[in-house]
Structure 1
């Protein structure tokens, strides 16, 4: 536990106050459900890029990934390779078309509404099923953020885990309730900058304290040679340090790389594509977002290695390696600012996820099936109420325990498998039917849930079978049923040309 000090408390309070003030400022500008859900599609490239990536990475970037590398060595960095590739491809192939198509699809403000309009589904099954999937997996995803936030408060302030998680959920709900999409995006931009600085500064300072990168790698190799082997896995044993384990098979490496496939189906990231000012702003956002991801993922891997080399005793909880290094290296004022980056990571993801989940409840259930003529002011308050409900359910799951990485992996695979293939096919296969979309969606979600519950046979990450099964089902059933009457893909070529002219 960190020695409680005035500077750390002060910096935390100041950070939280700034976030809430931004929420209050934007609160006055949130008058319609479109404002609340997509900010009127007004994001510029830097805000869209950093808010997308900050909401993407969450506490996993500062706790889950460094903890995995600290525990098992550089072989865990295959996840980072997959995520970097997935980020770039998502901005390149999905972002511009999704921005254009969602506006043409009756100005859809949710992924569920887009699916229904794009595939001309008159049964409304696509909207209902996709909204249910969003509700289920986002509840788990938000729970991972609460676990990370609880771990932060527990480590810094020494409170019990349950109390720490309670504090975390209270802070996140108040902020998200006030905010809406613009507040979430603006604060995520600030949080993305803070996360970037924290992730870069900490490993560089450790490298300097150790005497350079050669000394860093030498100390890691002294702990166990296989910690620096990309194809050997090291098993962490709490009281005995690091011991050589089984080598990473090609299947295991493929499972780690498969994290990159998840990007195509994450609603909270896709919402930033939908909310950017126009498709012409996507190339600049792609460059900014990809650079941010490459630098921060690399830094997170080095934080894990730095913990092995710098810390004298193995940590009881490997996911606190960033916290341990920060509090040991910096004075309380600087440490407080850098530790606030963890809270920033947690909030930047949890608020985005709560917002998307509340939009699904409001747009895809309340307005669609109960109050078609509801006024905008009513819908905004229903959305805020949904934020509280989803947060309470996520709070329950967070109290059940589990590591940040494990919970994120489950939710990431669920969204990536259920929505990823459908999003891609909706943008590039004009004649695909609603039956194909429904079959792929249900198959992807079901395979992930079943695969996780039977213990992930062979150690294969559920994203691989889930994504593959969903893609196959969507293609096979995509030839059945009534085809969309509207031509989508051909119409996009004009937008392609306009975007090329801007570049």
Structure 2
């Protein structure tokens, strides 16, 4: 345990908690709208930072590092390629998303499909986002346990507590500003670390030559179908990620929403490429790690980079994990409040009551996520499961709202039911035949059900009006 590492980590946590306390003041967050949308006034630099930090969390620093450690840098780029591809789609959809100004993705679904689809979508998002929150807790626990005498279980509990505090306090306002600071920290630390770690091996040529034959290949030794099974869940999640939609809605205006996706696109590469290089370099320098989950983290904790830089890497990794955790907790709490409570309340719910409900919902989500993490100790496994459920059940229906006028309620319901059922049957009843991730089967079935159900049914006159009007503003 490096004292410098621990000091850097403690300083980072203290700063995050202070920011959270600052934005928890009632003068900054006094309504439910302030809590979930930061008053719809986020400036472009903060919006870029929060988009990047929200997306690049434990799934990249831990799960993505695990993939690169085992399959090599080129395969890891294919694994992560869903992110930039998805951001390009978001660029063209950003203005419409901001104009619609929905609290949740299920609310967007109701505008086209009706209340039944909204409720089914809310249930699916709840299941997926609790899983994503759970692996943020696990990933943060990895870092804390590397630097302190705390066990993995104790460290995970500590991270869960910090994440919950930040989300409960200032809502998106505190999360967005801590995101921006965290994004800057991790980008700088990763970029500085790459040449230092490569020099520990020798030269870039030495690094490449010492990788295994499979790690030098484009597929990392995986079959095309196996690699596609890793690529698709990431792409599907980002295309309809409620978290990102809410941040685009929190932009000052439609122009800010769209332009921020450009910075998000560039930032994604600045993080993904160094993680792939560092984790694959760890397979050379630290070939006997018990788990690839700690590949990037162990480079810092084992003294293979200068202590201050190592502390920045560890703090930056924890920063992304914490901010991603707060974001997903905050987002799914919005589903609990707006989709399950406010939508069905018999009377108007005041802003003060909504704010209180948001905070109670965040605490409840934290407890569920912590318990779920006990059943999925591997971040990569939980990551793939959560992404897939969301991607096959929600993404086709959401993209159809934005881009296909002929889609109907029948098609959306069929897509959600068929997609979710296919994932559960393939994963648990059939136990993943051929070691294929369930997305390879569930996605085609989900899209087929969407198209067939829509073409076989007649759209209601009210199904398209609200969405089309938003696109014309």
TM-score scaled to structure 1, two decimals?
A: 0.87
**Unaligned ranges ≥5, structure 2:** none
Q: State the match for 1:459 in structure 2.
A: 435
Secondary structure at the aligned position of 2:329 is classed as: helix
Q: State the match for 1:292 in structure 2.
A: 267
Q: CA separation of 1:282/1:401 partners in 2, compared to 1, >3 Å: closer, same or farther?
A: closer
* Alpha-carbon offset, residue 488 of structure 1: 5.4
Q: State the match for 1:209 in structure 2.
A: 200
* Distance in 2 between residues matched to 1:361 and 1:490, nearest whole Å: 27
**Paired residues of 2:96 and 2:471 also in contact (CA < 8 A):** no
* Distance in 2 between residues matched to 1:231 and 1:111, nearest whole Å: 34
1:28-427, aligned counterparts within 5 Å?
28=25, 29-74=28-73, 75-89=75-89, 91-100=90-99, 102-103=100-101, 108-119=102-113, 121=114, 124-220=115-211, 224-233=212-221, 248-258=222-232, 259-311=234-286, 313-327=287-301, 328-370=303-345, 372-427=347-402
**Paired residues of 2:112 and 2:467 also in contact (CA < 8 A):** no
* Distance in 2 between residues matched to 1:391 and 1:305, nearest whole Å: 33
* Distance in 1 between residues matched to 2:242 and 2:470, nearest whole Å: 22
* Alpha-carbon offset, residue 401 of structure 1: 4.2
Q: State the match for 2:21 in structure 1.
A: 24
* Alpha-carbon offset, residue 481 of structure 1: 5.0
Secondary structure at the aligned position of 1:277 is classed as: coil
* Distance in 1 between residues matched to 2:351 and 2:404, nearest whole Å: 34
- Give yes or no for the alignment of 1:483 onto 2:457: no
Q: CA separation of 1:94/1:456 partners in 2, compared to 1, >3 Å: closer, same or farther?
A: farther
| Per-residue deviation, residues 323-354 of structure 1 (Å, max 9, x unmatched) | 22113134444322221112112111111110
* Alpha-carbon offset, residue 280 of structure 1: 1.4
* Distance in 2 between residues matched to 1:356 and 1:218, nearest whole Å: 44
TM-score scaled to structure 2, two decimals?
A: 0.92
Q: CA separation of 1:494/1:396 partners in 2, compared to 1, >3 Å: closer, same or farther?
A: closer
**Unaligned ranges ≥5, structure 1:** 234-247, 496-503
What is the number of equivalent residue pairs in this alignment? 465
* Distance in 2 between residues matched to 1:369 and 1:282, nearest whole Å: 30
**Paired residues of 2:68 and 2:276 also in contact (CA < 8 A):** yes
- Give yes or no for the alignment of 1:12 onto 2:9: yes
| Per-residue deviation, residues 25-68 of structure 1 (Å, max 9, x unmatched) | 22231111111112232222332222122111211212221222
RMSD of aligned residue pairs (Cα, Å): 2.1
**Paired residues of 2:104 and 2:246 also in contact (CA < 8 A):** yes
Q: State the match for 1:469 in structure 2.
A: 445
